[in-house]
Structure 1
């Protein structure tokens, strides 16, 4: 089993995630759920928010946290039930930091960057002075500049 990249209460290791989790924990939970198992981001967000009104958000949060631990072979650093019930925002932020760390780690998704190719027209017959005309774009006539 591997260790988490950050602890449950290391929220200030990534201030952007910390602020997002503090201001909108349901939204961050929805994004995490989508990255963990492809769940609908908006649906997970709304469900977590509705269950949080009854202090039952741990019911769906525990499952997502366990799925994340299973996916990356992570140790259970704290009981998932306790973490998701009493420290839900901290647990959500820890999961977001872990997903961010794992996607940036070697073997994670690599961005593909391409550059547009320049366009240079070559003459079919090896004549260098052929240029397109204004009357018929794309048709080349010899001797026009």
Structure 2
């Protein structure tokens, strides 16, 4: 008994579409043409080669990098320093959850917990790349100007 393979015209084929933004020759996972955001992270958890200097800073001086990223996100500068006092880094995890909600990125608390616990520096690098890719301006509503 043999298998019958349908001719190629009967296969359903999904086209692969890529596009460019900001940097020629680079594609973005987190954007569609026209600036429409997709519900995925713009880079993978281990895509550290996308920004080597940033990942080197995260590797060699992680507390400085986490504080810098937290401040850029609009949170307290020293907030990530609280992660040192627990088994599961609550600040890293809550920042990932907050970023997923703000940018409409799909994901689960379980994945956020795993990345925050076992891939902390990579998770912060991914969040930093996402903020830069999304390029949202932070607006402080209750800020007073003098």
* Alpha-carbon distance between aligned partners in 1 of 2:62 and 2:104, rounded to the nearest angstrom: 24
**How far 1:34 moved relative to its partner?**
2.0
Compute the displacement of 1:46 (Å): 2.8
> Once the two structures are superposed, what CA deviation does each residue of 1:73-104 show, in whole Å capped at 9, x if it has no partner?
1122870000000010111111111111111x
Residue in 2 that maps onto 1:34: 71
The aligned length equals 99
**Aligned position for 1:46:** 81
How far residue 45 of structure 1 moved from its aligned partner, in angstroms, is 4.0
RMSD: 2.0
Distance 1:45 1:3 in 2: 24
Render the CA deviation track for 1:32-66: whole Å, top value 9, x for unaligned.
Answer: 22232x2221x224323x33xx544x212111111
Segments of 4+ in structure 1 off by > 4 A?
none
CA contact (8 A) 1:28 1:96 kept: no
For 2:68 and 2:41, locate their aligned partners in 1 and report how far apart those are by CA, in whole Å.
Answer: 19
Q: 1:46 to 1:67 in 2, by over 3 A?
A: same
Question: TM-score w.r.t. structure 2 length?
Answer: 0.60
The two structures have a TM-score, normalised by structure 1, of: 0.60
Residue 90 (structure 1) aligned with residue 126 (structure 2): no
Q: Which runs of 5+ in 1 are unaligned?
A: 110-145
Contact 1:17 1:97 in 2 (8 A): no
Distance 2:92 2:70 in 1: 9
Taking a change above 3 Å as real, the CA distance of residues 97 and 21 of structure 1, as seen in their structure-2 partners, is: same
Distance in structure 1 (CA, Å) of the matches to 2:54 and 2:133: 12
- Kept in 1, the 8 Å contact 2:80–2:91? The answer is no
